[in-house]
Structure 1
Amino acid sequence: MTDYSIATIPPDQPLPADDPDRSLTVALPDDPAVPHISQAGNVYSLLISGAQTEGRYCLIDMLVPDGGGPPPHRHQFEEMFTLLEGELEFTFRGETQTIRAPASINIPANAPHQFANRSGRMAHMLCVCTPAGQEAFFLAVADRIPDRQSPAPKPDALKQAEKKELMQKLAPKYRTEFLSGT
């Protein structure tokens, strides 16, 4: 049974006052102002950044084509996916299972994991990382594209090697470790 009573704010403390300097954020995945990137063949739209949430979380819209998905990795933050369309293979601590939409998947901080699309069609999901920072990592290593319908660039072998080296170099800064296997 799930315990829904766990709270991060002690019950004996009053709620803080509303911060009128923070505004409502409405993010539309097709908005040209939203950063769109291509990372390893996937197309990500960075809907809500840590700058908009005081670092509490970020929200990323992910289109994962057949054959797409990241290499095995782990990171020091929580990651939650809501699979809206399609299906993906999620490998968590070495165990693989196929997840079909609609579904939500929570990856605890530091747990080895990866996902892969082997379905033959596009998968669509939302990803929340808490605290924020993953969106900044993607902006540092991925290719910017004009919109979410743009095809992912097809890098040559040299460009792929450069990207992999950059990812390895920046991973510690963004609390991420790439693994040889999960």
Structure 2
Amino acid sequence: MIPDDDPLRTLTLANPDAPGTTYISLVGNTYGMLITGEQTNGRYCLIDMRVPDGGGPPPHRHDFEEMFTILEGELEFTFRGEKYTVGAGSTINVPANAPHYFRNISGAPARMLCMCTPAGQDEYFSRVGDVVAGKDAPAPQLTEDELAERRRHAAELAPTYRSEFL
């Protein structure tokens, strides 16, 4: 039996250029929070990821599903130790608990949409990254001590968000 419609939940229109979109700088990447877990009752989140040439996160894993649709550029995904080159127009799903990471190998900025289900990654990024003025805003210039503090904080919070660095 399908439950009744919940009129308290509204339609969400996500536009990366919309005023009020929150952009987070994290490990050199810029992540736009398009649809948050708060908007979906925790079911999923959608993040607009802008990754500079050579950029990407460190190896990690988490107990939620993560799906990426490449919009621009070419990324190399390492999944359980095997490398896959993924270009614009392709989608890749990373199953929960699987070790993975990605690198932008396109020689230019890359862009992709990342959906996580259930949500939580959006909140994690917001807690460990730095809010920036927009999608093209430069990353803050951090000292070595500030970078070390960001890494320590990210590792400390990772278990709260069902993640671990490898």
Give the TM-score normalised by structure 2.
Answer: 0.98
Q: Residue 162 of structure 1: CA displacement?
A: 0.5
Q: Does the residue aligned with 1:63 lie in a helix, a strand or coil?
A: strand
C-alpha offsets along residues 90-148 of structure 1, whole Å, 9 cap, x if unaligned? 00000012111110000000000000012210111000000000000000000100111
Q: Does the residue aligned with 1:153 lie in a helix, a strand or coil?
A: coil
Pair 1:104-2:104 in alignment: no
Runs of 4+ deviating beyond 3 Å: none
Corresponding position of 1:29:
16
- Among 9, 20, 29, the alignment partner of 1:42 is 29
Give, as a single letter, the amino acid of the residue that structure 2 aligns with 1:43.
Answer: T
C-alpha offsets along residues 65-84 of structure 1, whole Å, 9 cap, x if unaligned? 10110000000100000001
C-alpha offsets along residues 150-181 of structure 1, whole Å, 9 cap, x if unaligned? 012232211110011001100000000000xx
Are the equivalent residues in 2 in contact too, given 1:32–1:146 (CA < 8 A)?
A: no
Structure 1 CA distance for aligned equivalents of residues 136 and 51 of structure 2: 12
Q: Does the residue aligned with 1:51 lie in a helix, a strand or coil?
A: coil
RMSD: 0.8
- Among 119, 125, 130, the alignment partner of 1:138 is 125
**Percent identity of paired positions between Structure 1 and Structure 2:** 60
Structure 2 CA distance for aligned equivalents of residues 170 and 134 of structure 1: 11
Q: Residue 16 of structure 1: CA displacement?
A: 1.1
Corresponding position of 2:53:
66
Structure 2 stretches lacking a partner, 5+ long? none
Corresponding position of 1:8:
none
Give the TM-score normalised by structure 1.
Answer: 0.89
Are the equivalent residues in 2 in contact too, given 1:32–1:147 (CA < 8 A)?
A: no
Give, as a single letter, the amino acid of the residue that structure 2 aligns with 1:163.
Answer: R
Structure 1 stretches lacking a partner, 5+ long? 1-13
Corresponding position of 1:19:
6
Are the equivalent residues in 2 in contact too, given 1:92–1:114 (CA < 8 A)?
A: yes
Larger radius of gyration: 1
| Equivalent pairs, count | 166
- Among 69, 73, 77, the alignment partner of 1:90 is 77
Q: Does the residue aligned with 1:67 lie in a helix, a strand or coil?
A: coil
Are the equivalent residues in 2 in contact too, given 1:41–1:153 (CA < 8 A)?
A: no
